Chain A
Amino acid sequence: MQAIIDALLGWTGAPQWLLTLIAYVAIATLLFVVAPLTMMFLTWFERRGIALMQDRLGPNRVGPAGLLQPIADGVKMFVKEDITPEGADKYVHALAPIVVAAPAMLMFAVIPWGYNMVPTDLSVGLLFFIAVSSVSAVGLMMAGWGSNNKFSLLGAMRAVAQMVAYEIPLLLAVTSIVMLTGTLSTVAIVEAQGGGFGIGGWFIWTPVGMLGFFIFAVAALAEAERTPFDIPEAESEIVAGYMTEYSGMKFGLFYIANFLLAWLMCAIGVTLFLGGWQGLGVNELRAAGYGVGASILSLIYFLLKTYLLYFGILLIRATWPRLRVDQLMNFGWKWLVPLALANILAAMLWVPITQWDAVRGLGFLAGLSPLARFGLAWLVAAVVNVAAVIFVLRINTARPDEPPYALADEPAAGL
């Protein structure tokens, strides 16, 4: 983008900082156009996808195959009456949707869309993504408190507790990948997965990546508040959680943030574990000098993988019931966190075996071929991770000697 702006406006003799500013404003504008379009497509995709799984048709009237349905929905949202409850804290109530939706937009900034197609290559891109995603918790809290409604407050408390609790396994799962690559830049992480014709180098093919992807996927589902972790807006329990008192476009903003967050979690999952934009032929095109072709092909790969992952979320949503709050917390702390810690241990063993050469005590590794070292690392990491999974399974499924509550046995069948 910088190069394009330089070529277009270079003749005006404007100072370099102005050109840089224009380039970044252009990128930001592009992202703010892409984000709502993505969201609109996602609503259609989700409704049609769920309908397909439930043997229904879904929206199919507006436009070809119902593709223009989101626009109709948008018009409906805009012309709805905007209600602020009488007892609400007016400013906090009005600000909350913005505080929730803005981080979702910001997170687009570090997603590597394709070869040479990243809005900004921050050196701490991954950390930026996670830090910004945690900001929306403040917005949820504001929504719950500002609405002055017990359902809102309950929903917000649940949402924030869930986000804070599942941020830990998410961060730990991401840490193992950061250890493998030695960088926090999303672009560099994708570049590191380019081996094996653009497919074999993905981190999901390593034991560290496999367990990491599982933990990441579960934690990301919880972060995005999707089924089976949609406890904060469980409509059969607490109306609609923190969104109860919102209407019109304010509700629409929550909706946008929710969909975008789920999509972004898919995108970052693809970036970290499924090779990002790497795929068959991208690196070959790059080497042959067709930079633009490589960009387009890699963009296609990236979008394909991301939407495939999103489809996985839809599958889970269509088939799984909701968890209980205590089950949620148990699963987060007793399953995911220990597994993520074991995964970090495996990554810690993986890095020296594959990458370090002249380390005391590891001298015998220098004589092995890269493939043999890879195999050895694979074996060691697999042993660590499988042992961790078995251990966690055993300690969590062991039945206590006596039930901690006074009920002698399960309720009778007739109950």
Chain B
Amino acid sequence: METVVTIVFLIIAALMLFSGVMVVAVKNIIHSALWLISTFFMVGALYLLLEAEFLAVVQVLIYVGAVSILMLFAIMLTRHVMASRPEQAFYRRWYLALGVCLLLFGAAIVPTLLAQQPGFAQATETAQQALGSPERIAGVFSLGVAYVSQYLIPFQIAGLLLLVALIGAIVIAFEERSRRRRILTLAQEHELRRRQAQPLPPAEPVVMAEESNP
């Protein structure tokens, strides 16, 4: 069982690294975004491997279902801006980017490696039995209880922040809207054009009854 999990982990990790590299390696920005989505999926799979079902599902729901869609929308709506980007400038100083990446990665990984014994923890059967089965990581129930007890304040503040962002978005949308006219149906638009083309006759009270007299 242990070896199966290790093999699955290695496959997922390899795919994740591959798609991560492809995000920055491909030239087409849409392809780049699609590779990023694949990376998000692999992160979700990694959570699933850790038996954190809730986190995995939320990863897919938020990152694949919402964030990446938003990114794709943004890219497609600004395609012309993206198409004229100076590609050469990015590729000429690739060694700088590589150096920065390695530095950041090293800053994250070196303290972890120093603090821990090198090598994978080889859990033998007897050791596992002595420890007992490990506790479930992020069950929905315990997560919910933690949100309303231990982490109530951060949870509420995050909620308030999102509410403010929501109201801000609505305010911006309303400003846009005041400058924009209402969407008309084709018939209404046609009528509007017709009336704008010919100046309206002076408003005279038209008495239908008199006109219809023979």
Contact = CB atoms under 8 A, between A and B. Distances in A.
Interface in A168-225: 184
Nearest to B185: A324
A164 B68 CA distance: 12
Contacts of A184: 140
Contacts of A104: none
A100 interface: no
A17 B54 CA distance: 23
A264 interface: no
B183 A141 contact: no
Nearest to A408: B195
Contact of A167 (B53, B58, B65, B181): B65
Interface string A136-147: 011001100100
Given A131-B60, A153-B76, A407 B65 contact: no
Contact of A134 (B61, B73, B181, B182): B61
Contacts of B188: 405, 407, 411
Main secondary structure of the interface of B (DSSP, over half): helix
B191 A415 contact: yes
A128 B191 CA distance: 50
B191 A411 contact: yes
Interface in B36-75: 37, 53-54, 57-58, 60-61, 64-66, 68-69, 72-73
Nearest to B60: A131
B148 interface: no
Given A124-B140, A138-B69, A407-B192, A17 B187 contact: no
Given A160-B73, A164-B69, A405-B184, A124 B192 contact: no
Given A122-B53, A405-B192, A411-B188, A137 B1 contact: no
A65 interface: no
Interface residues of A, number: 33
Contact of B57 (A124, A142, A153): A124
Interface residues of B, number: 34
B192 A415 contact: no
B158 to A, nearest CB: 18
B64 A123 contact: no
Interface string B172-202: 0000000001111101101110010000000
B4 interface: yes
Contacts of B154: none
Contacts of A30: none
A337 to B, nearest CB: 11
B126 to A, nearest CB: 18
Given A405-B181, A411-B188, A137 B140 contact: no
Contacts of A130: 61
Contacts of A415: 187, 190-191
Contacts of B183: 326
A131 B58 contact: yes
Contacts of B73: 157, 160
A128 B192 contact: no
Contacts of B4: 17
Contacts of B28: 89
A220 B146 CA distance: 32
A71 to B, nearest CB: 34
Contact of A142 (B34, B64, B182, B184): B34
Contacts of A404: 181-182
A145 B72 CA distance: 10
A324 B188 CA distance: 14
Interface in B1-57: 1, 4, 28, 30-31, 34, 37, 53-54, 57
Interface of A: 15, 17, 89, 92, 122-124, 127-128, 130-132, 134-135, 137-138, 141-142, 145, 153, 157, 160, 164, 167, 184, 324, 326, 404-407, 411, 415
Interface of B: 1, 4, 28, 30-31, 34, 37, 53-54, 57-58, 60-61, 64-66, 68-69, 72-73, 76, 139-140, 181-185, 187-188, 190-192, 195
16 contacts: A92-B30, A122-B53, A123-B140, A131-B58, A131-B60, A132-B60, A138-B69, A141-B76, A160-B69, A167-B65, A405-B181, A405-B188, A407-B184, A407-B192, A411-B188, A415-B187
